[in-house]
Amino acid sequence: MNVAGVIDGYKKEYERMLNDSTDNFESFFNEMKLKISILTADLEGSVTEISKEIYTLNDRLEKIISDNVKSRKQLSQLTNSDAGAIGMFSDSKNAYIHKLVATLLLVFTIIGYVLYFYKNNLISFGFNTISVKNKAAGLVNNINNNINNIKKNLNPQSSLSVLKKAKPNLFS
C-alpha cells in the first residue's frame, strides 16, 4: 500500500470538492468529516496490521538472535575441540616417531653386536664351527694350565698346607 499516493489522491479530491461546493459549506464539511473518518479508520487498520507484522518480525528476530548465540557457543566448542584434536594428533605422531627411532636404534645396535661377534669369530652361524670349537678347546686348555700352575706354585708352608696339617679331615 502506497501511503503517499493515497494521501495525494485524498488531497486532490478535497480540493475538487472544495471548488465544487462553495455554496453549500455544511454538506461539504460533513462529507469531509466522513471521508476523514474513513481515512482515519483505514490508517488505524493499516497501523494495526503493520504493528502485527512488526511484532511477528520482532519475535522472529529474537528467535534468530537466540539461535545465533547458541550457534556461537557450539562453534566455540567445536573450534576448541578441533584444536585439542590437532594437538592430540601431533602428540601421538611425535610419540610414534620417538618409539620408531628407539626401536631402530635397538635393532641397529643388536645387528652391530652380532656382526662384531661374528667378525671376531666369537659366534658362528653354523658356517665355521671348527674355529669356534678350536677356540673353546684353547680356552679349556688355558684354564687347565692355569690350575696346574697354581697347584705347582702352591707353597707347602702356606696357610692352606698348615690348615691341612691341623685338621686333616677338613678338606676330605
Q: What is the pLDDT of residue 170?
A: 47
Cell of 104: 631402530
Q: CA-CA distance, 107 to 105, in Å (whole number)? A: 5
User: Which residue from 140, 141, 121 is spatially nearest to 129, judged by alpha carbons?
Assistant: 121
Q: CA-CA distance, 121 to 51, in Å (whole number)? A: 103
The set of residues, in sequence order, having a beta carbon less than 8 Å from that of 164 and lying 6+ positions away, is 170, 171
Q: What is the pTM of this model?
A: 0.35
In contact, 64 and 57? CB cutoff 8 Å: no
In contact, 14 and 33? CB cutoff 8 Å: no
Q: What is the pLDDT of residue 159?
A: 55
Alpha-carbon separation of residue 114 from 118, 127, 129, 143 (angstroms):
6, 15, 16, 26
Q: What is the pLDDT of residue 124?
A: 67
- Amino acid at residue number 135: K
For the chain, 172 residues long, the average pLDDT of each consecutive 10-residue run is: 72 71 67 81 88 93 93 81 78 93 95 87 67 74 78 60 53 50
The angle, 0 to 180 degrees and rounded to 10, between the axes of the packed helices 25-119 and 3-20 is 170
Q: What is the pLDDT of residue 160?
A: 55
Number of DSSP helices (H) and strands (E) in the chain, helices first:
4, 0
The one-character DSSP state at 128 is: -
Instruction: Locate the domains of the chain by residue range.
Output: 3-123, 124-172
